[in-house]
């Protein structure tokens, strides 16, 4: 089986401090061929073990974005070489074949016999699309994940993706691929997942640090919406007139009822004695602080002491949510409670700029689960299985995460305020956000309170009061109008029949 590997040149550019990635192709009978990729990368971004560009940064700085772009370009180059291998009789190629193939990818204009290259390829357009959008780090990664899935789909169907010829049937085939890709793997005796022989070539050409797992409807629909956003951009830019989504239905994303802890449970966690485990105690404090300000984990990990401001009302945290800072840059301001201020004060000497001793986000989520079990917050809750769509009963400790802190803030605050726009002002949701409904629940207490609003202040009158109203003399027009209004109310409440009302009106007119 042919194999493509990448190494980093030992030479370092004096101007940029970067090194060039070298691409190698090995096949029995063909030898070991090496070519210059024309892709230069800073050495910290290249992982020799995985032979790939590896990015662990949390912030999307210009350097990180550049690294992501080069990672995408390298994957496109590998796919281009793979297609060339499949279409070429390698028994009759020169020693320069691999370099020539790489050059055709990098400098296509040199190989089009005097013709100007006007049309973008599918993946060139996709790269341009991502480059023109203002995206958060997580959103940028999601688009790159979609890009890699599309590359694998192209290899899977052995047909080049053409931006002008994709149809609704192709979209259905892609959705089926995304849904079933996890089935291309088997677990060996050692417990390791490996691609089956039929599909091994795809993942040898396009290796993944984590093999695909089963995806639920929400995840698949999210990928399809991102794919549609790309095509909408292409039509607006005049890149294509093809709109395969016009006859394709994506479907809506479905979420279960939000699960969060009560204010009493929050206090139980905060006051629990975890002094015997400083790691858990620290992460517990950070979780409780997040419960009091309701920010996303990306914003929590970006907060510094500069985000804390004090005025005559108290101390507050102020930040611009990373997720929406380019599309909807609203400033969020949340005043700290006494407990939140105590947590900040507890770690004031930890670092000159950082608020807390943060750990990797996934480890933070593991620690939160451990804290819940440690303090016996283990009631059963109903959650929606994202793969089957069915509701399941699970221990709240097993589903606890950093996002539950945000849900706790929003859910408990909404029960007090009941105005989504006011709560959204503190949580960073834009006004009228559809996503807000996923964070608050209409519980029984709120239902009872709303039901009580339907009750009328009107109380039935006694027979004596009814007789007094009917027989009361009206000396003036105003007194007569008041009497008729009271009688009309008796009619509306069913205490006087329409016939009785007609008799009273006739008697009043006679008098």
The verdict on 242 and 344 lying in the same domain is no
The verdict on 75 and 212 lying in the same domain is no
Q: Is residue 83 part of a domain?
A: yes
Domain extent for 469: 463-510
Q: Is residue 123 part of a domain?
A: no
Q: Is residue 468 part of a domain?
A: yes
Write the DSSP assignment of 243-285 as a string of letters: -GGGG---------------HHHHHHHHHS--TT-HHHHHHHH
Answer with the one of 409, 431, 452 that is the final residue of a domain: 452
The verdict on 428 and 303 lying in the same domain is yes
The verdict on 273 and 226 lying in the same domain is no
Predicted structure pTM score: 0.59
The verdict on 291 and 314 lying in the same domain is yes
The verdict on 345 and 438 lying in the same domain is yes
Q: Is residue 197 part of a domain?
A: yes
Q: Is residue 485 part of a domain?
A: yes
The verdict on 217 and 106 lying in the same domain is no
Question: Residues 234-243: contacts with CB within 8 Å, 24+ apart?
Answer: 234/125, 234/129, 234/163, 239/120, 239/125, 239/163, 240/163, 240/164, 241/164, 242/163, 242/164, 242/165, 242/166
* CA quadruple 203, 204, 206, 212: dihedral, nearest 10: 20
Give me the numbers of helices (H) and strands (E) for the chain, helices first please.
19, 12
Say which residues have a Cβ less than 8 Å from residue 326's Cβ, sequence separation at least 6: 134, 135, 136
Q: Is residue 487 part of a domain?
A: yes
Q: Are 497 and 466 in contact (CB under 8 A)?
A: no
Answer with the one of 95, 118, 141 that is the final residue of a domain: 118
Answer with the one of 251, 286, 301 that is the final residue of a domain: 251
Q: Is residue 256 part of a domain?
A: no
The verdict on 447 and 491 lying in the same domain is no
The verdict on 290 and 437 lying in the same domain is yes
Q: Is residue 458 part of a domain?
A: no
For residues 430 and 332, what is the distance between their CA atoms, to the nearest angstrom? 11
The verdict on 283 and 371 lying in the same domain is yes
The verdict on 225 and 272 lying in the same domain is no
The verdict on 291 and 422 lying in the same domain is yes
SS (H, E, C) 34-68: EEEEEEEEEHHHEECCCCEECCCCCCCCHHHHHHH
For residues 149 and 179, what is the distance between their CA atoms, to the nearest angstrom? 11
Output the tens digit of pLDDT for each of the chain's 511 residues: 456 788 999 899 888 899 999 988 776 655 667 889 999 999 999 988 888 888 877 666 788 888 888 888 888 888 788 777 777 777 777 778 888 888 888 887 666 554 444 577 898 899 889 888 877 777 888 898 999 899 999 989 988 899 999 999 999 999 999 999 999 999 888 888 889 988 988 887 777 777 888 898 889 999 999 999 999 999 999 999 999 999 999 987 777 678 899 989 999 999 999 999 999 999 999 999 999 988 889 889 989 999 999 988 889 999 888 776 655 667 888 889 999 999 999 999 988 899 999 998 889 999 999 999 999 999 999 888 877 778 889 999 999 999 999 988 888 887 776 555 555 556 554 555 555 555 555 455 544 554 454 444 445 667 777 777 777 777 776 777 777 777 766 665 566 776 776 776 666 655 5
Say which residues have a Cβ less than 8 Å from residue 253's Cβ, sequence separation at least 6: 217, 218, 221, 222
For residues 201 and 393, what is the distance between their CA atoms, to the nearest angstrom? 40
Count up the domains in the chain and report the number: 4
Half-sphere exposure for 217 (CA within 13 Å, toward CB): 11
For residues 386 and 388, what is the distance between their CA atoms, to the nearest angstrom? 6
């Amino acid at each position: 089986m042919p194999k493509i590997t990448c190494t980093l040149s030992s030479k370092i550019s004096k101007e940029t401090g970067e090194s060039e990635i070298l691409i190698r192709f090995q096949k029995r009978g063909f030898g070991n061929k090496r070519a210059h990729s024309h892709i230069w990368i800073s050495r910290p971004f290249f992982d020799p073990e995985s032979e790939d560009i590896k990015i662990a940064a949390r912030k999307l700085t210009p350097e990180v974005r550049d690294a992501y772009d080069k990672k995408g370009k390298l994957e496109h180059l590998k796919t281009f070489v793979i297609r060339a291998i499949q279409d070429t009789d390698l028994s009759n190629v020169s020693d320069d074949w691999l370099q020539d193939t790489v050059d055709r990818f990098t400098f296509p204009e040199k190989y089009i016999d005097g013709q100007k290259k006007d049309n973008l390829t599918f993946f060139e357009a996709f790269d341009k699309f991502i480059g023109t959008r203002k995206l958060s780090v997580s959103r940028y990664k999601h688009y790159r994940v979609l890009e890699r899935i599309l590359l694998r789909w192209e290899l899977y169907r052995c047909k080049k993706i053409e931006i002008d010829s994709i149809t609704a049937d192709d979209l259905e085939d892609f959705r089926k691929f995304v849904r079933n890709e996890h089935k291309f793997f088997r677990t060996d005796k050692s417990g390791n997942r490996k691609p089956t022989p039929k599909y091994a070539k795809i993942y040898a050409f396009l290796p993944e640090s984590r093999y695909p797992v089963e995806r639920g409807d929400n995840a698949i629909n999210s990928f399809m919406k991102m794919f549609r956003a790309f095509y909408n951009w292409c039509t607006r830019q005049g890149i294509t007139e093809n709109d395969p989504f016009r006859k394709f239905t994506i479907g809506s994303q479905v979420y279960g009822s939000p699960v969060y802890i009560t204010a009493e449970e929050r206090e139980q966690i905060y006051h629990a004695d975890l002094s015997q485990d400083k790691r858990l105690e620290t992460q517990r404090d950070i979780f409780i602080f997040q419960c009091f300000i309701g920010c996303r984990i990306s914003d929590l990990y970006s907060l510094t002491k500069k985000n804390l401001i004090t005025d005559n009302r108290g101390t507050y945290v102020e930040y611009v949510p990373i997720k929406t800072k380019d599309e909807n840059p609203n400033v969020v301001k949340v005043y700290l409670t006494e407990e939140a201020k105590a947590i900040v004060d507890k770690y004031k000497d930890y670092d000159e700029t950082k608020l807390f001793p943060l750990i990797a986000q996934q480890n933070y989520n593991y620690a939160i689960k451990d804290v819940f079990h440690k303090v016996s917050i283990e009631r059963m809750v109903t959650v929606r299985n994202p793969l089957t769509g069915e509701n399941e009963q699970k221990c709240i400790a097993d589903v606890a995460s950093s996002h539950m802190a945000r849900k706790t803030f929003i859910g408990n605050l909404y029960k007090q305020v009941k105005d989504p726009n006011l709560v959204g002002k503190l949580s960073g949701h834009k006004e009228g956000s559809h996503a807000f409904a996923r964070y608050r629940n209409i519980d029984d207490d709120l239902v009872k309170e709303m039901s009580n609003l339907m009750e009328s202040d009107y109380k039935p009158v006694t027979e004596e009061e009814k007789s007094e109203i009917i027989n009361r003399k009206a000396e003036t027009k105003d007194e007569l109008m008041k009497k008729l209004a009271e009688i009309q109310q008796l009619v509306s409440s069913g205490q006087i029949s329409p016939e009785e009302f007609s008799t009273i009106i006739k008697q009043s007119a006679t008098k």
